[in-house]
A and B are shown apart, each in its own frame.
Chain A
Amino acid sequence: MHAALLLLADSRLPAGGHGHSGGVEEAVRIGAIHDLPSLAAFLRGRLATTGLVTAALAAAACAYGSSASRTGWIRLNAEADARTSSPAQRDAGRTQGRLLLRTARRIWPSPALDVLAESLPQGAHHPVALGAVASAAGCVPGEAALAAAYTAVTGPATAAVRLLGLDPVAVHGLLAGLAPDLERIAATAPTDWEALPAHAAPALDLLAERHIRAELRLFVS
């Protein structure tokens, strides 16, 4: 395992991740998440849908990494777009990707990241950016997939701790319980673009659309 993976997956990476709840803020508002079991169900569902898709996109971007051309990045990003039906989620994903690239280009400068940033000035989707950054940092596709799957559940879990005052140790216990799933997803993430999964999560799409219209928002997404 490459040590840079730890930096990439760390919530302290200064790339704006703390502002995103991945649908948790809205789910808390409507009462869908209110305790540990309901959070556990949300995280399992998120991992099996968005988590799986983002892991595969990150792995594909990482594999594509150094051989990258403008048109290639635009095409891979279009694959991410096609798998994100909610406009609010597309915006949030591109914003997160843009912020990650802004940070990573200073930490791991590389021509491939420059090309990616220039090809998609509005921002590459977060998993695409994450995979590209993982490659620039020296990680392999399976590691990029692991980081993507991991952040797909840890960000929302932290948001739930902040919003509901849940016991942080109990929530980390939940995350530890998901570790085998994270490993399985990372190990099986395809890097082949034709094989990219497209699991949909209509509930997450609806939460994102409601969230963006809410009067009070503490999180970007």
Chain B
Amino acid sequence: MGANHDDHHHAADPHGRALRLGIGGPVGSGKTALTAALCRTLGQSLRLGVVTNDIYTTEDADFLRKAGVLDPERIAAVQTGCCPHTAIRDDIAANLDAVETLEERFGPLDLVIVESGGDNLTATFSRGLADRQIFVLDVSGGDKVPRKGGPGVTTADLLVINKTDLAPMVGADLTVMSRDAAAVRDGRPVLFTSVREEPGAHAVATWVSGLVESWVRDHGHEPDHVPA
């Protein structure tokens, strides 16, 4: 959410730390699918780490591991004690610890993705944890959801509306969703995806690469070695 340049994190790398990207949104909207897509598309060009907060233990981590998109060691699971919301906003200690542990073990990294456990429309990431955040909705929740707003929908740096392949089945009007989202988001971007039909989620990946590029520019991270 907006700029957060007063960096009080301990950097694992003297050249600067990785960009921390939060991915939030309701249960089942496609956060894990999107995380996997980003790993698939960006894994060749960026040094990645992933922290998952799924309320069901290591389920998300297992999914990512099985998808074979990232070295399993680079995926850390955090248990949130039935409070997924608390772990990304009010008490971010366990998530910060997980992020920094990944950076210490595998750093320097370019991007660490933190996937929140599924929550409601009011869940957002603390700026102390995520430098930027994506909020993921899906069309099957109905085309009224963007209109309802809530801090996730209105203030996330990027709103992703996923499962467009299901729109005809559930009678969701994408034009309505697009118009309503634009109305509450004050110019911030919205992207429509179907991770099912396009497992690379390229539009989102391009947006994320742009973030990482400007992060490196502003924070002096050396983009020296890139995994083959």
Contacts and interface: CB of A to CB of B under 8 A. Distances in A.
B55 A218 contact: yes
B81 A20 contact: yes
Contacts of A19: 78-81, 83, 87, 94
B96 interface: yes
A19 to B, nearest CB: 4
A15 B57 contact: no
Interface size, B (range): 10 to 19
A93 B141 CA distance: 41
B82 interface: yes
A44 interface: no
A217 B96 contact: no
Interface string B155-174: 00000000000000000000
By secondary structure, the B interface counts as loop
B119 interface: no
Contacts of B80: 18-19, 218
Contacts of A159: 81-82
Contacts, number: 63
Contact count band on A: 20 to 34
A218 B97 contact: no
Interface string B50-84: 00000111000000000000000000001111110
B198 interface: no
A15 B96 CA distance: 10
A177 interface: no
A20 B91 CA distance: 13
B97 A162 contact: no
A12 B81 contact: no
Contacts of B92: 14
Given A19-B81, A162-B81, A220 B94 contact: yes
A14 B129 CA distance: 12
B8 interface: yes
Interface in A65-119: 95, 98-99, 102-103, 106
Q: 6 nearest interchain CB pairs?
A: A16-B93, A14-B91, A19-B81, A99-B93, A16-B94, A162-B82
Interface of A: 12-21, 95, 98-99, 102-103, 106, 159, 162-163, 215-220
30 contacts: A14-B91, A14-B93, A15-B91, A16-B93, A16-B94, A16-B97, A18-B80, A18-B81, A18-B86, A18-B91, A19-B81, A19-B83, A19-B87, A19-B94, A20-B81, A98-B97, A99-B93, A99-B97, A102-B96, A159-B82, A162-B81, A162-B82, A216-B56, A217-B57, A217-B79, A218-B55, A219-B82, A220-B79, A220-B81, A220-B94
Interface of B: 8, 55-57, 78-83, 86-87, 90-94, 96-97
